[in-house]
Amino acid sequence: MDTGIVIVGASLAGAKAAEALRAEGYQGPVTLVGDESERPYERPPLSKGYLLGKEEKEKVYVHPADWYERHGVTLRLGTAATGVDPAGHTVTLEGGERLPFSKLLLATGSAPRTLPVPGGDGDFVRTLRRIGDSEGLRAVFRPGARVVVVGAGWIGLEAAAAARTAGAEVTVLEAAELPLLRVLGREAAQVFADLHRAHGVDLRLGVEVAELRADGVRLGDGGTVPADVLLVGVGISPNTALAENAGLTVDDGVRTDQHLATSHPDVFAAGDVANAFHPLFGRPIRVEHWANALNQPAVAAASMLGKSAVYDRVPYFFTDQYDLGMEYTGHAEPGGYDRVVFRGDVAGREFIAFWLSGGKVLAGMNVNVWDVTDPIRELVRSGRPVDPERLADPAVPLAEL
């Protein structure tokens, strides 16, 4: 008997999975369990348009409010799932209620890491993950406010850009020599350092944070940085507790195969939490980006319904900071590439960077250059060797490489 499909995690991946199940023609019960009180919404605007007050709240939701009822999807919001019994096919909710399932999707996403220093878990420390975090920051990003951001990753930099745009005085503290150094490598990371400094951010690199306090940050060298607003953006960790306690294989996320099935055949995972085997790379990768949470659920839904589906999309993400728009297509890990090739005007921030290994393009990042993700994706997917000189030459169409 089909007891229905339960999805834990009511955000982008969870909502898209519910949508895909109905699109596939599934008519059984679908229950979407989420511990946030908001219906599923998208997070990218929380550090961009919504944080800046340029985007309306209604625009951030994945579906209109009445969509769930119209599609027979039961929303259990403000309710955490506290346990999963794969063999017994039940999910336990806080309060003790048990939901039976035939198939279960874990779409529990990820949560901000805390800084392991004194004060790192203080209630004056802000993070940016949820809609309320964004609204709280918007209220305090004011002209003259002293905003200190710890961590120059994507979220930290986008928040810094929003704070500067709102007229705040912004200091960014980063332990590495450059922002985004691990993800982008030295050459491309420098672009983001220059961008923020050009917009008046006091970007301090190679800095050790020793303590967080309500009135600012104490540094390893004994110096202090006063703060009215203290935001920590030092990365995220996948929410794997449910899976771990259920005995599923967890290794930097919930491990799945290319169909997004976990180590239990009736339990699937998608989005930030999934460390999914990727056929193109021949190994599992965990992607903490919007496009992955948008597209994996269709494959998970088809797989849950017993159809043959494989997730093999080339990873993609984007950022917007001040007047810089960027898209990144592919997957290049630190130490995994041997050359970076630039095409275009790097100083003018209008270029494409390519990460290569053995002459093959692993990833491409277009900065203020548009409509090139299709040929970049094709270059990555084909794995064909390219001539670096032609790759660097804007006169050579990407499709002809």
Ligand X SMILES: Cc1cc2nc3c(=O)[nH]c(=O)nc-3n(C[C@H](O)[C@H](O)[C@H](O)COP(=O)(O)OP(=O)(O)OC[C@H]3O[C@@H](n4cnc5c(N)ncnc54)[C@H](O)[C@@H]3O)c2cc1C
**Contact positions toward ligand X, by CB under 6 A?**
8-14, 33-36, 43-44, 46-47, 80-81, 107-110, 128-129, 155, 239, 242, 271-272, 288-291, 293, 317-319
316 — phi, psi (to 5°)? -145, 140
Fill in the amino acid letter for 124.
F
10 or 99: CB nearest ligand X: 10
171 or 239: CB nearest ligand X: 239
370-375 LR contacts (CB < 8 Å, sep 24+): 370/325, 372/398, 373/316, 373/327, 373/329, 375/399
Q: Work out how close the CB of 57 gets to ligand X at its nearest, in angstroms, rounded to a whole number.
A: 15
318 or 341: CB nearest ligand X: 318
Angle at 162 between CA 160 and CA 167, to 5 degrees: 95
304 — phi, psi (to 5°)? -60, -30
Q: Work out how close the CB of 362 gets to ligand X at its nearest, in angstroms, rounded to a whole number.
A: 18
* Six-digit token string for 30: 């679908």
| 335 CB-near residues (< 8 Å, 6+ apart) | none
93 or 201: CB nearest ligand X: 93
Secondary structure percentages of the chain, helix, strand, coil, to 5: 25, 30, 45
245 or 249: CB nearest ligand X: 245
Q: Work out how close the CB of 110 gets to ligand X at its nearest, in angstroms, rounded to a whole number.
A: 5
Secondary structure (3-state) at 240: coil
12 or 170: CB nearest ligand X: 12
Please give the Cα distance from 185 to 355 (Å, whole number): 9
Q: Work out how close the CB of 227 gets to ligand X at its nearest, in angstroms, rounded to a whole number.
A: 20
CB 200 within 8 A of CB 170: yes
Q: How far is CA 193 from the centre of its chain?
A: 21
Please give the Cα distance from 365 to 329 (Å, whole number): 6
Q: Are strands 98-100 and 236-238 parallel, antiparallel or unpaired?
A: unpaired
Q: Work out how close the CB of 91 gets to ligand X at its nearest, in angstroms, rounded to a whole number.
A: 9
Secondary structure (3-state) at 84: strand
Q: Work out how close the CB of 137 gets to ligand X at its nearest, in angstroms, rounded to a whole number.
A: 10
Secondary structure (3-state) at 101: coil
Nearest Cα to Cα of residue 20 among 311, 350, 332, 390:
311
10 or 386: CB nearest ligand X: 10
| 211 CB-near residues (< 8 Å, 6+ apart) | 117, 118, 119, 217, 218
317 or 354: CB nearest ligand X: 317
Please give the Cα distance from 160 to 322 (Å, whole number): 10
Please give the Cα distance from 276 to 269 (Å, whole number): 8
99 or 107: CB nearest ligand X: 107
260 or 401: CB nearest ligand X: 260
Place of tokens 């769930």: 68
